[in-house]
Amino acid sequence: MRRISHTAPEGPRPPERSAADRHVDDLLVRVAQGDERAFVGVYDALVVPVMGLAARILRDEAQAEEVAQDVMIEVWRKADRFRPERGAAKSWVLTLAHRRAVERVRSVRAGAERERKAAQLAHQTPFDEVVEAVEEREERAQVYRCLAGLGNTQRLPLVLAYYQGMTYAEVAEALSTPAGTVKTRMRTGLRRLRVCMGGD
């Protein structure tokens, strides 16, 4: 008599990852161990998809650039939370990007509502205040564009210091890099930023 198998059929298997995806997975695992060079690889591989996702949600290039920089800093700081057995590094990073972009949309909407109420109270905002606000936004966007043009070894210390409020020593510790090297990279980065923004 023929024996009938009662083994349950296997569920759908997760799609095979490409060699490129597996490479990024390996890099992110090394980032969790403090490997700065591996982070450069992760940054180069994923910053464009991150910015593209942010731009689709925010519909604002300057804000998308800001979100992308914030996300990549978060990747550096939280790489130890990545679990390759649960999914690809790219998916994990894009999930962070999606959350950040949605948070930014909510923040912008809340800010717009506050501005609308303030305008109702003030009835009329002086022209010079409007001009100043516009110039400030444009300058901030230019800073992010110039930061994006720096090499990672110069960009990352500056972002950690000026946007995360870290000291030289904290930046050096976070990057596992001597403090003197960090200072040199930051000075070089600041000089390049001034040139990019039209300074002397």
Contacts of 178 (CB under 8 A, 6+ apart): 172
Residues 142 and 102 both lie in one domain: no
Residue 99 placed within a domain: yes
Give yes or no for a contact between 144 and 62, defined as CB atoms under 8 angstroms apart: yes
Residues 95 and 31 both lie in one domain: yes
Residues 62 and 82 both lie in one domain: yes
pLDDT at position 121 = 44
CATH number of the domain residue 174 falls in: 1.10.10.10
Residue 58 placed within a domain: yes
Residues 172 and 102 both lie in one domain: no
pLDDT at position 30 = 95
Diameter over CA atoms, the chain: 93
CATH number of the domain residue 103 falls in: 1.10.1740.10
Please count the structural domains in the chain: 2
What are all long-range contacts of 142-146, with beta carbons under 8 Å and residues at least 24 apart? Answer: 142/196, 142/197, 143/193, 143/197, 144/62, 144/65, 144/66, 144/69, 145/65, 145/196, 146/192, 146/193, 146/196, 146/197
Averaged pLDDT in 10-residue chunks for the chain of 200 residues: 44 63 93 92 93 91 90 93 92 94 82 58 46 60 79 82 78 83 86 76
Of the three residues 126, 155, 173, the one that is the final residue of a domain is 126
pLDDT at position 172 = 84
Of the three residues 126, 157, 188, the one that is the final residue of a domain is 126
Residues 33 and 58 both lie in one domain: yes
pLDDT at position 130 = 45
Domain span at 52 = 18-126
The CA distance from 11 to 61, in Å, is 41
pLDDT at position 82 = 94
Residues 40 and 115 both lie in one domain: yes
pLDDT at position 1 = 45
pLDDT at position 11 = 44
Q: H or E stretch including 76?
A: helix 61-78
Residue 94 placed within a domain: yes
Of the three residues 111, 126, 141, the one that is the final residue of a domain is 126
